[in-house]
Each structure stands twice: as structure tokens, then as C-alpha cells.
Chain A
Amino acid sequence: MPSATPGSVVAFADAPVAPLGPWTPPHPARAILGDPAAVLAAVALGIVALAALLAPWIAPFDPSLPLDLSARARPPSTTHWFGTDAISRDLLSRVMYGARLSLGISFIAVLVATLVGTGWGAVAGYAGGALDSTLMRIVDTGLAIPRIILLLAIVSLWGALTATGLALVLGLTGWFGASRLVRAEVRRVRQRDFTLAARALGAAPSRVLVRHVLPHAITPMLIAATLAIGQVVVVEAGLAFLGYGIAPPAASWGSIIRDGRDSVATAWWMSVFPGVTLALTVLAINVLGDRLRAALGGRQVPAP
């Protein structure tokens, strides 16, 4: 983008309000490349994502097929990098397929949460007044109930869930924070002159909101959503660990860790490998989310 017009006058010595700095498109890539921790996180996340996407083609074994009942609970070897589980399934393959579920569910859940939260928060923030109060008290109520308890209640009533069902449940219990964030952004941008100018030119509220206000909320939403994916991975693993995850034989990371729990003293690899993969993935997501925040504006984004 060229900077200023040749011969333009940009003297504002007596301007009552300081003009905004030039709007430059943010450069998240540059911020990440300049930081070794962020590069490491991006590489780690890239490997996990690739393994998840390509699992059907690159996984060495069928994740749900017992291979050889004489090869149960084998420690890591050159054939089975992560060892095998109690019924001789290859753990590396299981962790790769587990990534598909864990990350896929979290991604969809955060997408749902972001959409619902954005709609809810945008309406509340733009409308203001009684509608705003009503909508936000509902959000306060949602935030006041511990999420894991709410989830356990829903999931135990529901019975065995499909991956999509679980993603929806996670998404629909996780949008409260996002709605607060969007509401705050909408209220902030709504104060600005160009919103008033758009209304003065006859734009309807929906148009002002969608076209003039919401684009300014995209950046914080993106950061919050990135960080939320990491959180949802953990929540989903927690549910699965407690036995309320998606129905077997499908297994997310949480279910794999749960399967290995009983033999952790004798066969550490069964829970340690999926556990470490989970921890590193979440760490990588958080590091990237944090760097993204620093690169894109640095305003504090509350945890969803």
C-alpha cells in the first residue's frame, strides 16, 4: 500500500482529536517467524495437524484392529514407535486417528461457539438497553455454571455421543466468553464517529452492525478462537477421560489416555505418549495464540 499522497497536507497541529494512526494490515507471519518459540510451536502444530489429516494414508496400522494378541502391551520399538495397548493395537496409529477426533471436534466446537457468541454479543452490544441487559444476564448465568459440570450433566443425559454431537455440545456450552468479547468490541466501535456517520447517511442497524462494526471485532475474535481451541481440546480430553467422551470404538486422545490409565505402572507408554502429545499440542496452540495477540494489537483478550 502506498503511504501518503504526494503533496498531501497532513498537518493537524490544531486538530481537536488526534487522527488515528494509519491502518496497516497486520503481519502475523512476520511476528511468528521472528520468534524461536513460536516457530517451534508452529512446526509442532503443523506435524500434529498433518498427522491428523493424513492419518488414513500414513498411519502404520489400523488403529482399532488388535494385531496380534501375543503382542499385547509391547513397549515402544521400531515397529511400534509408541508401543501397543492392552489388546495389541498400535498406539501411534491410535494417537494419529485420535488427533483427527480431538482437533476436529475442538475446531467445530470453537466454530459453533464463535458464531453463536458473535451473534449474541453483537446484538446485545448494538441494541444496548434492556435487551442488552437480558442477553448478558443469560451469559452471566452460563458463565456461573462450571463448564465441566454442565457438560457432564448434558452428556450423561444424552448417552453415547457422536463426534458431531459432542462438537455441538462443546460449542453450545462454550460461547459465553466469546459473546462478552464481541459485545465489548461492538460497544467500543459503536462509539466511533464512522458508525454515527453511517447512520446519518441512512444505513439500517443491521447494515451498520455487519458492515461497519463487526469487521473491527474480527481480530480479537480470531485470537480468542485460537486460544479456545487449545482449551476445548483439554475439556474434551477431560470428558473422555471421565468416560463421557464419544462412543467407542472411536477414540480421542482423552479416551486413549483413559484406556492406558490402569496399566500406567506397568505400561507407562500407553498413557504417556497420548498425554504428552495432547500437552504439547495445547502448549503449541497457546503459544501461537499468544504471539498472534501480541502481533495483532496486544489488547487483552479475556479467556473464553
Chain B
Amino acid sequence: MTSHGAPVVEPLLRVGDLRTWFRTPAGIARAVDGVSFDVRAGETVGMVGESGCGKTVTALSLLRLIEPPGRIEPGSSIRFEGRDLLTLSEEEMRRVRGNRIAMVFQEPMTALNPVFTIGDQVAEVARVHDGASRRAAWQRAVDMLSQVGIPDPAERAKSYPHQLSGGMRQRVLIAMALMMNPSLLIADEPTTALDVTIQAQILELLADLQQRLGLAVLLITHDLGVVAEFAARVLVMYGGQIVESTSTRELFADPQHPYTRGLLEAMPRLGQGRNRLTVIPGSVPAPTHWPSGCRFRDRCPHAWDRCASEPPPAYPYSPGHQARCHLVVEPTRLSEQHTP
């Protein structure tokens, strides 16, 4: 597998045919089912989709934090910095987590342990990975807290999570994630639990740190506005698969998948007047029972019989732009609309 003199162009992260399935009493939940994408060093890639489409399971799979009954199926590959993470031992994997790939969670209150000070929790990362002394780790924690914009970090480090606001807590989680200077940061809905002004501050902080540290970011969100502002490329997930992947510019200018279009139409925009926002009818089906053929066909206004019989492959539409929709090869069908 590992060949010396690997091509220089290999991206930082290359996920190939990732399938993470959960064997539940209700059947096999194919939460992530054949996901492939790249993240290049230093770039921000957005991953969007509704709840239940497999974004978080994808993120946890990258860190191999899937627990039984979940399993990453054989045939999947996660190449990162020249190694396939799925072939590493658990101990080697622990040296990747928090060190080369770090993750920021959605809910900053529950992701911090209520019984330890934030300084303790940031310092712990250095103690785990570098075996740093208590004092040295604390000092590094204070430095890191100052880098993520926490005022008076030396004092603040002695606070408990409940003494901080949501935005401050999210900064603490970012400090923990960046403590070891990772090359990839997975940010899972980092701003969902925050109110709007704080959201903007946190996103600016992430963008700023990314610039300074040359970090690649996989930004998971359900908010296309966030993607538009911070990501160069976008992966749209639906039903455990990536249904469209392209540059952010092209996604907004020329979306190909009806699901992507639905998401864009559901976005509130300035100057749009008083038109009602459109919604995508229905909801994500259960991952144990994806529809046959195209997984979006139950909710798609264009679906025809081919969509039921033949699962669409990731059709190339233009360079760097793919969509899992038969409309890419049969564009005339686009004019035929019906209510799903």
C-alpha cells in the first residue's frame, strides 16, 4: 500500500468509497454509503446537508471513532498524509487524533467536561501527545487560549465551562483542537449552537487561524451561507452519499442536483422581496430503508422511472463538478416537473 516516493500531488486527505454501516435490529443502517472526496492541504471544504444525511458519521469515521454496532466496511479507504488510516493500529490512530486531525464539536457546552477548568482541558491535549509536564502544558494552554482570542487567558484558564459564554466555550474547543498544530481540522457544525453575531466571530476566528496555520478545514454545516463565505469547494450530502461536489462559486451559479437546488431555494436572501421560502417536501428517509435507485427520488420534482430503477452514478458535469443525478445526462427532463 505505502509506496515510497508517493506522488507529490496526493491530497492531504483522500477518502475512497467510505461506507460506515450500523447493524441495528431494524436492519443495516447505511449511514455513510460510498463517499469519496479529497481535501487538499490548506483548503476549506464545506460539507452540507440536512440532519441525518451522514455528515457527522463521515467526520467520526475519519477519526475512526465509530463504535459498535457501527463499522467502517472493508473496501473503504481514508488516505491521510500518505497513510491509510484504516490500516493503522488503535495506538497509531490515537497519535493521529488531536495531533494531525482535530475535531471541533457542535455543542460547546457538552463537549467540555463540567468538572475541570478549561485550562486543564486544553493542557490535557499537550499532556496526552507530548507528555508535557503539568506546568509546561498549562503555559501552552494559556498561550493557545490567547491565540483564539480569549481575553485575560491566564485568569480565564482557571474558569469552569459553565462560567463562560457559548462563544467563549467554542473558542476553548478550538484551542483544544489546534493545540498540537494539526494539518486537518474537522469542524462539525461549529456555530449551530451559537447566536448569529457570535457565529460570525467564530467563523472569522477559524478563517484567521486557518490562514495563519496553513490548516485544512472540513467544515460541516447545514448552512449554505456559511459555506458560501468560507469554503472554496462544497460537498453536498444526501442519503449517506455525496450527491454533488463542485467549487462554491459553481454550486451557487449552476447547481445540478435537484437537492442542491432545493437547498439553495430554501435559503433566505436579502432583496428577495416577500416571496415565501420554498421547502424541500418530505424528510430524509431512514438510513435502513433508502429508496431503490436514486435516494432522493421520493422528494424530487423531476423523478421519472429511470430514477427508481437505476441508482445514478457521480456523473461528471464539468471539470471538478460532479452530480449524482440522471438529469446531467438527460437534461431535457428538467422541464418536466411534478409534485413528488
**Interface residues, chain A, CB within 8 Å of chain B?**
1-5, 8-17, 19-23, 128-129, 192-194, 196-204, 207, 211-212, 215-216
Contact = CB atoms under 8 A, between A and B. Distances in A.
Interface in B154-173: 159-168, 173
Q: Which 10 A-B pairs have the closest CB atoms?
A: A201-B98, A202-B98, A8-B165, A193-B110, A22-B162, A202-B97, A19-B109, A23-B114, A197-B111, A194-B113
Contact of B124 (A4, A17, A19, A203): A203
Nearest to B167: A9
B193 A5 contact: no
A7 B63 CA distance: 37
Interface stretch (B99-107, B229-237, B243-251): B99-107
B163 to A, nearest CB: 6
Contacts of A13: 195
Contacts of A196: 65, 105, 111
Secondary structure type dominating chain A contacts: loop
Contact of B111 (A14, A22, A193): A193
A20 B192 CA distance: 17
B132 to A, nearest CB: 13
A1 B195 contact: no
A201 B95 contact: no
Nearest to B101: A200
B65 A200 contact: yes
A14 B195 contact: yes
A22 B114 CA distance: 8
A128 B195 contact: no
Contacts of B299: none
Contacts of B167: 9
A24 B252 CA distance: 48
Contacts of A3: 163
A136 B197 CA distance: 50
Contact of B99 (A4, A8, A128, A202): A202
22 contacts: A1-B163, A9-B167, A11-B195, A16-B192, A17-B193, A19-B110, A20-B109, A20-B162, A23-B160, A193-B107, A194-B114, A199-B65, A199-B97, A200-B65, A201-B124, A201-B177, A202-B95, A202-B97, A202-B98, A203-B128, A204-B94, A211-B124
B107 A16 contact: yes
Interface in B73-124: 94-99, 102-103, 105-107, 109-115, 124
A3 B159 CA distance: 10
Nearest to B67: A128
Contacts of B160: 1, 23
Given A9-B165, A197-B112, 12 more contacts: A4-B163, A5-B164, A9-B167, A10-B166, A19-B166, A21-B162, A22-B163, A23-B114, A196-B111, A197-B105, A201-B103, A212-B113
Contact of B113 (A16, A17, A198): A198
B68 interface: yes
Contacts of A204: 94, 128
Contacts of B113: 194, 198, 212
A13 B166 CA distance: 12
B125 interface: yes
